[in-house]
């Protein structure tokens, strides 16, 4: 294994980790991946890998452990063997749901970063530690955010942003002694080729709202709708991330993985509505009123994610990505594909999921009906 990459991956079976794993295997036909998976997720991880082509499956080793535990939950011999082999680490394991509590976010996001640094420190042949942060560590900042910016007086809108920023600070602190690369994707949506996504939150709340509404109902916009909504498909993120992670010029630097020409919220609404056969948005609700409605009694448990996404929709921020573009262009990786080129696949995926859910519920009712 000395002549090619041996990658240690956290995060399976999340869609991000699956895409990164497949891209690593595609990018280097001789690469081998050690993927650490928590026990409750092993079955799902095995099912995902079993669905890949045989040559890819043979180069993936699933290891039961815990990315947030001491020594990743591995025995001393397991940890030592991995440390001797690994050339690159991809830290994809995180918690992104804005409704998560602080303790859980700290355990996964913060301790996961700490343990990745500890493993990297023990590695004999390490060439890169790739950490997947988020562009939203900018919190409530407005205006243009540079890739090197981190602490700039911002407040955080949820514990995900806060703990990812704290984890990124740890990674930056390790840059002087480890080959750390920090990546900050914007809001990630599904696969631009298939529409596949593993979690219906964030932008998918918008798509669900549109496709589930009556065809002749024109939904109002939250706010004026003229702020940019930066969306990136997961397959492009994985392709760009693996390429940057393998480039020696990336060491010790931070990169935004964003759409250089993001659409406004109104334009995104209009595209989604058109793809879903619905009317475009009409009128608007003041952002403060929309947020207040989502804080109504009884909605708190289910509204944390919609409220967080609403705050994203109404924050006038743009992300500078000149350093990422400078690295990616010579590697043959173009800019983020425009939403117009794949929005129909995202909407079709949601529509199919909604259709299946309705059929399942209908079947359940029919089975329970005592008159059948």
Three-state SS letters, 43-55:
HHHHHHHHCCCHH
pLDDT-based confidence at 357, cuts 50/70/90?
confident
Query: pLDDT tens digit string along 70-80?
Result: 999 999 999 99
Query: pLDDT tens digit string along 218-240?
Result: 666 666 778 899 999 999 999 99
pLDDT at residue 246 tops 70: yes
Question: What's 34's DSSP letter?
Answer: E
The CATH homologous superfamily for domain 6-195+230-260+317-338 is: NAD(P)-binding Rossmann-like Domain (3.40.50.720)
* Per-residue confidence (pLDDT) for residue 342, from 0 to 100: 97
* Per-residue confidence (pLDDT) for residue 372, from 0 to 100: 35
pLDDT-based confidence at 200, cuts 50/70/90?
confident
Are 130 and 87 contacting, i.e. CB atoms less than 8 angstroms apart? no
pLDDT at residue 361 tops 70: no
Q: How many CA atoms does the CB half-sphere of 291 hold within 13 Å?
A: 12
pLDDT at residue 201 tops 80: no
Give CA–CA dist 94/112, Å, rounded: 8
* Per-residue confidence (pLDDT) for residue 69, from 0 to 100: 97
pLDDT at residue 294 tops 60: no
* Per-residue confidence (pLDDT) for residue 206, from 0 to 100: 74
pLDDT at residue 295 tops 80: no
Nearest to 277 by CA among 207, 357, 193, 229: 207
* Per-residue confidence (pLDDT) for residue 97, from 0 to 100: 82
Nearest to 266 by CA among 304, 311, 314, 305: 314
pLDDT at residue 308 tops 70: no
* Per-residue confidence (pLDDT) for residue 205, from 0 to 100: 74
Residue with tokens 């995900």: 160
DSSP codes joined into one string, 57-90:
HTTEEEEE--TTSGGGG--HHHHHHHHHH-SEEE
What is the token pair recorded at 204? 């998918």
How high does pLDDT run on average in the chain? 87
* Per-residue confidence (pLDDT) for residue 208, from 0 to 100: 76
């Amino acid at each position: 294994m000395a002549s090619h990459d041996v990658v240690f991956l956290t995060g399976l079976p999340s869609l991000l980790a699956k895409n990164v794993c497949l891209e690593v295997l595609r990018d280097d036909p001789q690469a081998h991946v050690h993927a650490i998976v928590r026990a409750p997720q092993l079955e799902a991880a095995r099912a995902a890998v079993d669905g890949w082509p045989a040559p890819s499956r043979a180069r993936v080793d699933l290891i039961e452990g815990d990315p947030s535990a001491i020594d990743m939950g591995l025995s001393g011999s397991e940890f030592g063997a991995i440390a001797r082999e690994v050339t690159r680490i991809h830290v994809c394991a995180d918690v992104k749901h804005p409704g998560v509590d602080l303790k859980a976010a700290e355990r996964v996001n913060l301790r996961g970063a700490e343990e990745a640094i500890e493993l990297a420190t023990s590695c004999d042949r390490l060439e890169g530690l790739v950490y997947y942060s988020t562009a939203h560590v900018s919190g409530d900042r407005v205006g243009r955010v540079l890739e090197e910016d981190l602490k700039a007086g911002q407040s955080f809108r949820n514990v995900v942003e806060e703990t990812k920023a704290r984890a990124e600070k740890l990674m930056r602190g390790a840059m002087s002694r480890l080959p750390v690369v920090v990546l900050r994707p914007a809001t990630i949506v599904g696969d631009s080729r298939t529409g596949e996504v593993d979690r219906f939150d964030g932008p998918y709340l918008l798509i669900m709202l549109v496709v589930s509404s009556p065809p002749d109902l024109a939904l109002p916009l939250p706010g004026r709708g003229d702020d940019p909504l930066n969306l990136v498909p997961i397959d492009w993120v994985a392709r760009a991330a693996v390429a940057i992670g393998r480039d020696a010029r990336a060491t010790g630097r931070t990169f935004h993985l964003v759409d250089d020409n993001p659409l406004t919220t109104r334009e995104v609404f209009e595209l989604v509505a058109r793809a879903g056969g619905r009317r475009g948005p009409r009128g608007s609700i003041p952002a403060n009123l929309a947020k207040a409605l989502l804080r109504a009694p009884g909605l708190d448990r289910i509204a944390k994610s919609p409220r967080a996404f609403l705050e994203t929709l109404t924050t006038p921020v743009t992300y500078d990505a000149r350093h990422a573009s400078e690295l990616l262009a010579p590697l043959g990786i173009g800019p983020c594909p425009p939403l117009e080129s794949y929005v129909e696949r995202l909407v079709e995926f949601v529509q199919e999921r909604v259709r299946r859910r309705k059929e399942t519920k209908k079947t359940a009712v029919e089975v329970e009906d005592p008159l059948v």
